[in-house]
Amino acid sequence: MDLGPLPQLVVSGILTGLLFALISVGLTLIFGVMDVVNFAHGEFLMLAMYLTFGLALVGLNPIFALPFVALAAFVLGAIVYRLLIRRLLDGPPSTVVFGTFGLLVFLQGAAQYFFTSDYRSVPNPPFQGTLHLGNVALGEAQLIAGLGALVMTALVFAFVEFTEPGRALRALSEDRVAAQLMGIDVQRMNALAFGLGTACVGAAGALLMLTYPAFPRVGTEFALTAFVVVALGGFGSVQGALLGAILVGLVEVLGGFYISPALKLIPVYALYLVVVLLRPQGLLGRR
């Protein structure tokens, strides 16, 4: 039975979804622990991509640059929490919304000023070959980016589920008052969650540079989809972010092929509306 281009589209959709998952896991981790929606999440992705580009100029390809970019993103996230987010949490909930949105505008403007609006890609990009699995052709760069995102997502899940700091993060997300009574340092865990969430998007930025250029508004394109993924999978759920991201990747790729590339996001938003109407907490979220 000839399925035509469907197998190719499904594999491409899954690989795309895995990258969305890594971006979304950072967003959902921050929300799950701190109950904060970080509107500047995409701009951290943009900064990570520019850092990866800079390291590529000195001869470090994105895969080898990934640990350094993720570590730099973690440090940046922890600093932003200490200097900005921590103070915003003392005000009403809208303060955090406007504060992180202001950070988004500032970082976009700074990137536009320092880097201009030019598209910047890794010089002499690695992994330019193509793998053929039956009728499915996979670009090496796309495959490595997708598998790298899956590995990083699995590492974050293992950290949250099986380590002592991870258990403290989960306890904080379940009941902040009880966690404080148990002696958990809330400010330290908040900084860890924000840093870890930013490290996720930093790693995603390094992987994206294998197949995608950096420019000042690149973060907005991916962050919008990441918000849909997190709401679809369930705010605060790492597993939900992975499931939601794969669904979004599949629907986006199939919609772009069978409907129109210009309209590929319409089926994604339609799926999102159906899920939130039937299950407002998301696929794997809690009420």
> pLDDT digit string (tens) for 234-279?
877 888 889 999 999 999 999 988 888 888 888 998 988 888 888 8
Burial string for 185-214 (b: 16+ CB within 10 Å, else e) reads eeeebbbbbbbbbbbbbbbbbbbbbbbbeb
Cα distance between residue 169 and residue 34, in whole Å: 9
Cα distance between residue 52 and residue 171, in whole Å: 34
* pLDDT tens figures, 141-196: 999 999 999 999 999 999 999 999 999 998 888 888 888 888 888 899 999 999 99
Fold of 6-112+137-278: ABC transporter involved in vitamin B12 uptake, BtuC (1.10.3470)
Dihedral angle over CA of 251, 253, 257, 258, nearest 10: -10
Cα distance between residue 77 and residue 37, in whole Å: 14
- Read out DSSP for 37-59? --TTHHHHHHHHHHHHHHHHHTT
How many CB atoms sit inside 10 A of residue 164's CB? 7
pTM: 0.92
Those residues whose C-beta lies under 8 Å from the C-beta of residue 144, and which sit 6 or more positions away, are: 63, 127, 207, 210
End-to-end CA distance of the chain: 44
